[in-house]
């Protein structure tokens, strides 16, 4: 029989009965949803947590108002424990417009941040780094708030899990990591998931406490979580708790779980957490048979009524499909740039100035990334900022792009403004899950904007080879919900970075490293801001329009000067931001010259140049006096040898040839 020990001994009768009612609610609700799904009466999917009620209620009950919970798809009951309503839950299951995701995602893939729960996404355990970022925000502001992130034992094998736990341990953040070990990662048993006796023993590798509890004992789960929460709240860092339990159903509604041996199932069902808690409550005189039946009947009736009500609520409309991709950015609060004054500076100097000024202006702005602290970053962009702002605003992180990006999401959701640095944008790939599934989708799906900047060096031309030279704007632009900025001069670098930091949306800011120190110009005096989504007219012309961005602006300018000597007048439009793209400026220039060349350093297939060419051809065909020409690299990787890299990168001669071809038509 279970017993009250430690923090669970402090629970009074009303709390104990409330926890019981939650467990019954979870059991009845998820059993009904499973039955409805199997009968074809529920769309989408179900991921029942039946059998895991003790861990979910015990862990979530240990948190207080203001704390944050990062759930997975099987944590529906934990969300209810945190205050999410049955109404919100069922509106989401039926894809209704008034539900938490407005019908944009279904079943348990939601969160209600106003009630302290983070958005659920399918990749696991994506809530770990986001919750870690929330805990970072709490520590930065000196708040006595705690985050708790949950997952299944299978998720502990992922790099995302490791990065989040490791970074939280290194920074001693106020977070608790919980694992519900329900014996199977879909169908994979524990002995094929890890070689440790328990997933909780992984804590030893991070230098944090690890606790293994009976996951079918709600009081033991609560006591362990409460102790860990208080430890975190008092500044003692993370704890890892593993609750050993069992899921009664399969991984999802369609899974009959035939891989579970009958005797194994029978042994676990004998340890069902609800009868065990009922026995405990009975010994306290808090529950008898009549009480159990009355509670179950009342909850069953409420569930039935909410399900019937939810099905009658309004569905989304087609007009809702493309809304909420971006939060509305405020009007620029700083003036546009004036004339340059003083000594010319490099692009690196301009970026550093922007970071410094924004950190000075707004204490919510902070930097994080690998080697950004005393070392000043791989390219010295953050040099001097650690000394000025300290280790909690210029944070050296482990090598952990998933945790850096996901942590930025969590901190942004808590009201901070993170500016994360990638040593090279080629290293963005481990962080794409967090960028695409969390940052880019949060407003659209979860109703909250994510004001964060992810910046770093990109581009070829420095003989850095295939792993330090990509231009990823085409890949990034493919995913809705991310703004993409590519400056081409020191002035635009500073003004656009200021705008990116002040924007309420996730922004990827690509700094072409060949431009870092190769160009200089005097910056305008004082603070200034350049709006995102506005192209820059580099030079006017009458015969051919060149649309380009980044380092290719300078290559195109050199080509235009040669062409001008031959009597060909070229107009150059620097896009500056790929998303949002200034289509009005592009169409206006093309309608003026009737000829278009698009120049990019990114490879051609499914690229920004492809999109510009396709849209102009479709919507301005009758304004054209010739075909659209794209000047791009070949569709290959970026080579190292000088002769090969020069052949890869578009050169002045390539642009001159393309323009002359059009001008002659």
pLDDT at 322: 86
For residue 213, the cross-strand partners are 243
Which residue, 503, 494, 489, 490, is CA-closest to 533? 503
**Torsion angles phi and psi, residue 662, rounded to 5:** -75, -45
Q: Closest Cα to residue 182, out of 253, 254, 244, 124?
A: 244
Rg for the chain, CA atoms, rounded: 28
Same domain flag for 384 and 244: no
List the structure tokens of 121: 């996404």
DSSP string for residues in 351-418? HHHHHHHHHHH-TTEEEEETT-STT--TTSTTTTHHHHH-TTTEEE--S-HHHHHHHHHHHHHTT-EE
Query: Same domain, yes or no, for 306 and 247?
Result: yes
At 566, phi and psi to the nearest 5? -95, 10
Measured distance CA(298)–CA(320) in Å, rounded: 37
Instruction: Count Cα atoms within 13 angstroms, Cβ side, for 5.
Output: 8
**Model confidence over 256-304: pLDDT tens digits?**
999 999 999 999 999 999 999 999 999 999 999 999 999 999 999 999 9
Domain harbouring 606, CATH code: 3.40.50.920
Q: Give the pLDDT score at 467.
A: 96
Please identify every residue annotated as catalytic.
468
Residue 331: inside a domain, yes or no? no
Instruction: State residue 379's pLDDT score.
Output: 97
Examine the domain organization and report whether 109 and 154 are in the same domain: yes
* 402 and 457 housed in the same domain: yes
Give the confidence band of 429 by pLDDT, cuts at 50, 70, 90. very high
Which residue, 322, 317, 275, is CA-closest to 296?
275
**327 is a domain residue:** no
SS3 432: helix
Looking only at the bridges linking them, the beta strands covering 394-396 and 365-369 are parallel
- The answer to whether residue 332 scores a pLDDT higher than 90 is no
Co-location of 511 and 550 in the same domain: no
Is pLDDT of 1 > 80?
Answer: no
Instruction: Specify the pLDDT at position 333.
Output: 77
Q: Residue 335 above 80 pLDDT?
A: no
| Closest C-alpha among 29, 164, 186 to residue 108 | 29
CATH number at residue 416: 3.40.50.970
Decide if 525 is inside a domain.
no
Q: State how far the Cα of 548 lies from the Cα of 571, in Å rounded to an integer.
A: 11
Half-sphere exposure of 220 (CA within 13 A, CB side): 19
pLDDT of residue 49: 97
Model confidence band, residue 320 (pLDDT cutoffs 50, 70, 90): confident
138-159 mean pLDDT: 97
End-to-end CA distance of the chain: 89
Q: Are strands 452-458 and 417-421 parallel, antiparallel or unpaired?
A: parallel
**Alpha carbon 426 to its chain's center:** 18
- Taking only the tens place, the pLDDT of each residue in 511-523 is 999 999 999 999 9
Token duo for residue 487: 């400056």
Give the mean pLDDT of 418-424. 98
Furthest C-alpha separation in the chain: 98
230 and 287 inside one domain: yes
For position 331, what pLDDT does the model report? 85
| Top-confidence residue, 5 or 206 | 206
Q: Stretch 154-166: mean pLDDT, rounded?
A: 97
User: How many domains is the chain partitioned into structurally?
Assistant: 3
371 and 269 in one domain?
A: no
- Pairing relationship of beta strands 68-70 and 188-189 according to DSSP bridges: unpaired
Question: What are the structure tokens assigned to 408, written together?
Answer: 């930025």
Give the model confidence (pLDDT) of 20-71 as tens digits: 999 999 999 999 999 999 999 999 999 999 999 999 999 999 999 999 999 9
Adjacent-strand bridge partners of 147: 68, 175
Residue 630 is assigned to a structural domain of this protein: yes
At residue 665 the predicted structure's pLDDT band, cuts being 50, 70 and 90, is confident
Average pLDDT over all residues of the chain? 97
Whole-number pLDDT of residue 256: 96
* Percent of the chain at pLDDT exceeding 90: 96
Answer yes or no: do 562 and 476 share one domain: no
Does residue 533 belong to any structural domain of this protein? no
Average pLDDT of span 178-192: 96
Q: How confident is residue 337, by pLDDT bands cut at 50, 70 and 90?
A: confident
Same domain, 279 and 355: no
**Better-scored residue on pLDDT, 340 or 83:** 83
182 and 255, same domain (yes or no): yes
Residue 389 lies in a domain: yes
Q: Which two tokens stand for residue 102?
A: 């407005």
Tell me, yes or no, whether 493 and 551 share the same domain.
no
Instruction: For 162-260, list the strands marked E by DSSP.
Output: 175-181, 184-185, 188-189, 210-214, 239-244
- Domain of residue 586, residue span: 538-663
Residue 338 belongs to some domain of the structure = no
Rounded to whole angstroms, what are the CA distances from 118 to 19, 453, 642? 22, 20, 49
What is the percent of the chain where pLDDT is above 70? 100
In a domain, 332, yes or no: no
> What pLDDT, in 10s, does the model give residues 533-566?
999 999 999 999 999 999 999 999 999 999 999 9
Output the DSSP codes for 475-521. HHHTSTT-EEE---SHHHHHHHHHHHHHSSSEEEEEEEGGGTTT--B
pLDDT digits (tens, 9 = 90+) for 591-614: 999 999 999 999 999 999 999 999
Residues whose CB falls within 8 Å of the CB of residue 205, separated by 6 or more in sequence, listed in order: none
Domain co-membership, 406 together with 361: yes
Quick one: pLDDT at residue 178?
98
């Amino acid at each position: 029989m279970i017993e009250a020990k430690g923090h669970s001994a402090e629970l009074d009768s009303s709390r104990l009965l409330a926890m019981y009612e939650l467990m019954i609610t979870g059991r009845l609700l998820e059993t009904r949803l499973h039955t409805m799904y199997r009968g074809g009466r529920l769309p989408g999917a179900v991921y029942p947590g039946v059998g895991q009620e003790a861990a979910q209620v015990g862990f979530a009950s240990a948190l207080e108002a203001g704390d944050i919970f990062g759930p997975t798809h099987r944590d529906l009951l934990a969300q209810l424990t945190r205050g999410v309503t049955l109404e919100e839950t069922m509106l989401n299951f039926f894809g209704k417009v008034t539900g938490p995701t407005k019908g944009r995602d279904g079943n348990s893939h939601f969160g209600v941040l106003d009630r302290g729960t983070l958005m659920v996404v399918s990749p696991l355990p994506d809530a770990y780094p986001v919750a870690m970022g929330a805990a970072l925000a709490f520590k930065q502001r000196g708040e006595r708030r705690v985050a708790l992130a949950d997952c299944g034992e299978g998720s502990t094998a992922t790099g995302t899990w490791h990065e989040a736990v490791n970074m939280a341990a290194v920074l001693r953040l106020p977070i608790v990591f919980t694992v519900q070990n329900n014996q199977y990662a879909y169908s994979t048993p524990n002995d094929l998931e890890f070689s440790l006796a328990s997933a909780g023993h992984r804590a030893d590798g991070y230098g944090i406490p690890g606790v293994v509890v009976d996951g079918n004992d709600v009081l033991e789960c609560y006591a362990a979580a409460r102790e860990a929460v208080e430890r975190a709240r008092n500044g003692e860092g993370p704890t890892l708790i593993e609750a050993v339990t069992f899921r009664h159903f399969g991984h999802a509604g369609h899974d009959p779980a035939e891989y579970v041996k009958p005797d194994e199932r029978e042994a676990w069902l004998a340890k069902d957490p609800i009868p065990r808690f009922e026995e405990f409550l009975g010994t306290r005189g808090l529950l008898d048979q009549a009480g159990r039946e009355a509670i179950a009947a009342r909850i069953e009736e409420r569930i039935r009524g909410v399900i019937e009500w939810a099905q009658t609520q309004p569905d989304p409309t087609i007009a809702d499909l493309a809304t909420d991709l971006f939060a509305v950015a405020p009007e620029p609060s700083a003036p546009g740039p004036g004339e340059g004054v003083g000594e010319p500076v490099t692009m690196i100097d301009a970026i550093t100035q922007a970071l410094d000024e924004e950190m000075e202006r707004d204490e919510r702005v902070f930097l994080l990334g690998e080697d950004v602290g005393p070392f000043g970053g791989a390219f010295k962009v953050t040099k001097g900022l650690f000394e000025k702002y300290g280790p909690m605003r210029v944070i050296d992180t482990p090598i952990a792009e998933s945790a850096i990006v996901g942590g930025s999401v969590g901190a942004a959701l808590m009201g901070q403004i993170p500016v994360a640095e990638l040593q090279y944008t080629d290293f963005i790939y481990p962080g794409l899950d967090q960028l695409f599934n969390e940052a880019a989708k949060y407003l659209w799906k979860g109703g909250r904007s994510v004001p964060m900047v992810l910046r770093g060096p990109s581009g070829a031309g420095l003989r850095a080879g295939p792993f330090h030279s990509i231009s990823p704007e085409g890949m990034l632009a493919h995913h809705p919900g991310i703004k993409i900025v590519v400056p081409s001069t020191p002035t635009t670098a500073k003004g656009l970075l200021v705008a990116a930091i002040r924007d309420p949306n996730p922004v990827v800011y690509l700094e072409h490293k060949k431009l870092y120190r190769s160009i200089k110009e005097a910056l305008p005096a004082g603070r200034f801001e350049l709006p995102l989504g506005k192209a820059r007219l580099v030079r006017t012309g009458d015969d051919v329009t060149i649309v380009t961005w980044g380092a290719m602006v300078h290559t195109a300018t050199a080509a235009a000067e040669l062409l001008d000597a031959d009597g060909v007048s070229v107009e150059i439009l620097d896009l500056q931001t790929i998303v949002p793209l200034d289509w009005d400026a592009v169409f206006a220039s093309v309608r003026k010259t009737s000829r278009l060349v698009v120049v990019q350093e990114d490879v051609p297939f499914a690229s920004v140049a492809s999109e510009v060419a396709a849209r102009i051809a479709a919507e301005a065909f009758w304004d054209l006096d010739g075909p659209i020409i794209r000047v791009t690299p070949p569709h290959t990787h970026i080579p190292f040898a000088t002769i090969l890299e020069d052949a890869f990168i578009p050169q002045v001669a390539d642009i001159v040839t393309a323009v002359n071809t059009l001008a002659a038509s």
